[in-house]
Amino acid sequence: MNWHKKPRDSYHHGNLRKALIDAALDLIGSKGTGGFTFAEAARHAGVSPAAPYRHYKDREALVADVAGQGYRAFSSALGKAWNDGKPDAATAFKRTGNAYLAFARKEPAYYSAMFESGLNVSTYPELRTAADEAFETLKVAVAALIATAPEGQRPPVLMVSLHVWAVSHGIASLFGRGDGAAFKQPISAEELLESHMLVYLRGLGLTI
């Protein structure tokens, strides 16, 4: 018997928080964002029912933390794909769209926490900031693409950014999920997104 092994409940706060987030991600992946209790998250993390209260007031606050972490990872993935618009805005924009779909495919639990938990992001300032930063990353890519059009023929950046976000999210949710919930189609989600963007952006006088 290992008498020196500490129970997981004695973790330092940082490790406890990570254990709870990991547990929540596992449970979201298997049961959905609303399919588990706070006590179940604690049990899954191997800690006492009281331990999560060191960091979170309730289960929703835990899910909000998971969603915020997801948004930060999402923003990082989009920014890395954009790569300051190199070698040109059109090529980098395509990469960014593919990165959006790749995140939904590779991180379905994060994606669910971010978009399917029903959280009021305004209740959680850190979550609001993380979500805004992810959208801002997309806006940067859209703005650079729009800047390639002749002056006077450039559509509003915010409008186009919202359209691109909505279409990317719809395609990711319906056809690009990595948790088996995606509808199967004869073409890939990436091909579907690219074809839609070609039609939409050319209608605005932009080319990719």
CATH of the domain at 114: 1.10.357.10
The tens digit of pLDDT for each residue in 84-142 reads: 999 999 999 999 999 999 999 999 999 999 999 999 888 999 999 999 999 999 999 99
For residues 186-206, give the mean pLDDT: 92
Instruction: Write out the residue range of the structural domain in which residue 78 sits.
Output: 60-203
Cα–Cα distance measured from residue 123 to residue 168, given in angstroms and rounded to the nearest whole number: 26
Query: Is residue 46 located within the same domain as residue 105?
Result: no
> pTM for the full model?
0.87
Cα–Cα distance measured from residue 125 to residue 71, given in angstroms and rounded to the nearest whole number: 13
Query: Is residue 46 located within the same domain as residue 87?
Result: no
For residues 30-56, give the mean pLDDT: 94
> Can you say whether the dihedral through the CA atoms of 123, 136, 116, 108 is positive or negative?
negative
User: What burial class does residue 149 get, using C-beta atoms within 10 Å of its C-beta: 0-12 exposed, 13-18 middle, 19+ buried?
Assistant: middle
Kindly give the residue spans of alpha helices, DSSP state H, lying in 46-88: 59-82
User: Per-residue pLDDT for 10 more than 50?
Assistant: no
Query: Is residue 109 located within the same domain as residue 170?
Result: yes
Cα–Cα distance measured from residue 121 to residue 87, given in angstroms and rounded to the nearest whole number: 35
Q: What is the CATH number of the domain that holds 33?
A: 1.10.10.60
For residues 25-49, give the mean pLDDT: 94
pLDDT at 208: 73
208 in a structural domain: no
3-class secondary-structure state, position 57: coil
151 in a structural domain: yes
Query: Is residue 46 located within the same domain as residue 141?
Result: no
Boundary residue ending a domain (40, 56, 72): 56
How many domains is the chain built from? 2
Boundary residue ending a domain (56, 84, 103): 56
Reported confidence tier of residue 49, pLDDT bands at 50, 70, 90 = very high
For residues 61-80, give the mean pLDDT: 97
